[in-house]
Structure 1
Amino acid sequence: MERLASLGRLSAGIAHEVRNPLTGVSLLLDELHDRLLSQPTDQALIRRALGEIERLEELVGELLNFAAHPQVTLEPGAIGEVLRDTLFLVKKQCQRAGVAVVEEVGENLPGLLLDARKLKQAFLNLFTNALDAMPQGGTLRVSADCLERQLRVIISDSGEGMPAERIPLIFEPFYTSKGEGTGLGLAITHNIVSEHGGRIEVESRLDHGSTFTLLFPLPGSA
């Protein structure tokens, strides 16, 4: 644990050091782009370079967020409200992708000690992954209910699914099968759920979709 903590601090330090020169290079390329009004081919190359810098800056930002690992602030709240707020954010994206949303979130769920902002981030990561798994459209199902003094949230998709050997790896930092992205989304989601005293279970089959089950202990159930 000590070595992992040291590695986290080292990663954060490196990320900070990388971010500063990236910002400088980006500003210089912007200036150069504006000076080459008569050279559209060169401007196109600069725009591509700026796009790659944006990707690096996104990676650095996520690395800093993961390394800093800010603690959640738990307050009484309604998980159903957080789920609905997060689904609202991806509503248009679902429509464009031809994904139908089936919501089965109870109205009278018990309250939970939660950090709404962090949980929204975790749910958004799971919804985004589900959409990525359904490039030809499909169905996203979101439900919440109570199960044996636990609050259960189930997020499932009808997408591409995963082979069994991939499932133990998906919460590892920087693991991704998409060929793009940082591979930190599910690792951050796992951390957020863990900090709420919960756990995540995953079921998936190739061509049959994936199901993520999040289990949170209710207050007084310990």
Structure 2
Amino acid sequence: MAAADGDSIANLLRKNKRLSRELSRMETVFNAIRSAIVVCDCAGEIIFANSYAGDLLGIGAADVSIFKLLPGMDAAVSDAARGSYALREFEISYPERKMLSAQIIPFDFGDGGTFALILNDVTREKLSTEERIESEKLSSLLNLASGVAHEIGNPLNSINIHLQLAMRRLKKLAEKLPGDGLVEGVRESVEICSSEVSRLDSIIENFLKALRPMRPDMADCDPIKPLAETLKTLDAELENLGVSVAVNVDAPLPTVYADANLLKQLYFNILHNAMEAMDAGGDITVRALADDDFVKISFADTGCGIDEDGMSKLFQPYYTTKTDGHGLGMTIIQAIVRAHGGKIDVESGPDRGTTVTVSFPRAHRRIRTLRQNAP
């Protein structure tokens, strides 16, 4: 009996060594693969990650959830759990900003659900395609905008100068003829002309802003302060249109690393679009909240909404459904968000309003990343 037990133990030891060698070989193979392979449970806890995944995602020795590393992965895993396979794309900002394609494969080993994630870095391919498309667009825009600026800008300046001279003469005339209705009427007409000149000048400026590479003056910024200043600027116009604005903010909201002036321009464009979608008045609801990675601000209106065709062309330069629109508002909005390393999402449909959500990286997350990389 003792001899039999000894043989059995020796057998087990040999099998254990063989299994250990096979596992070592398997791990060597997985670590040689130039795709990130991550195995996690349904709660996002990482069970296994090959060395390439560690480099790509910045996985250290500390326990970390895949849901923290890849915002939005929790929803993708839930989708995969209902099927057999899922494909997604993610953008990460740590340890470097990259675009990833992900294959999510569910397994059921009787332990509540396990998922294998195969991640590939597609940043170069994405940027190459986007840069080529953007380069072609910008080349076309630049030629057109240069022509517009030259043909309209010069006579516009001349008109503006003569309008200013006319206002000065009218002021002197009004001093000589106080209360004269004719003088007052001409003054009002000149003011209207001056206002229209300013509007044309604004159109030219919008053309140029859509083309110039943005160089934000970045600093720690309270994202709500520029919003409050923008709402104050639009207060009279909102009242005239019968549009009410409700702002709901999760307190305390963290700071973002941003250019406050560009944020004001961003908010102005989004709010103005919402106002123009509500001819007979309505409501705009602004919600601001934060997660571990982003500060998200959404603008929901009760306007006419955008149909499927309009949604597909939303960020195309010069696309507009307005008779007096220049079609660059959403292009500028997208450019500002991208310049801050953020994201923009739009949800809309005919007669159900539009919700625009902009997400900006939290300032402290950038600071934490720098500290982690410090020698």
Taking structure 2 as the reference length, what is the TM-score of the superposition? Answer: 0.51
Aligned to 2:146: 13
Matched ranges for 1:68-217 at <5 A: 68-217=212-361
Q: Which 5+ residue runs of structure 2 have no aligned equivalent?
A: 1-131, 170-189, 370-375
C-alpha RMSD of matched pairs (Å): 3.2
Aligned to 1:58: 202
The CA deviation at 1:52 is 7.3
Kept in 2: contact 1:145–1:152 (CA 8 A): yes
SS in 1 for 2:229: helix
The CA deviation at 1:171 is 1.7
The CA deviation at 1:49 is 9.0
SS in 1 for 2:305: coil
1:155-202 superposed Cα distances (whole Å, 9 cap, x missing partner): 010111111221121222111101112111111111001111111101
Alpha-carbon distance change, 47 to 127 in structure 1, aligned in 2, over 3 angstroms: closer
Taking structure 1 as the reference length, what is the TM-score of the superposition? Answer: 0.82
In 2: Cα distance, 1:125 partner to 1:148 partner: 27
The CA deviation at 1:47 is 10
Alpha-carbon distance change, 52 to 98 in structure 1, aligned in 2, over 3 angstroms: closer
AA matched with 1:20: N
Tell which deviates more after alignment, 59-68 or 170-179.
Answer: 59-68
AA matched with 2:291: L
Q: Which 5+ residue runs of structure 1 have no aligned equivalent?
A: 35-45
In 2: Cα distance, 1:83 partner to 1:49 partner: 31
Kept in 2: contact 1:11–1:63 (CA 8 A): no
In 2: Cα distance, 1:47 partner to 1:117 partner: 28
1:17-39 superposed Cα distances (whole Å, 9 cap, x missing partner): 2211343466679999x9xxxxx
The CA deviation at 1:50 is 8.3
Larger radius of gyration: 2
SS in 2 for 1:62: helix
How many pairs align? 217
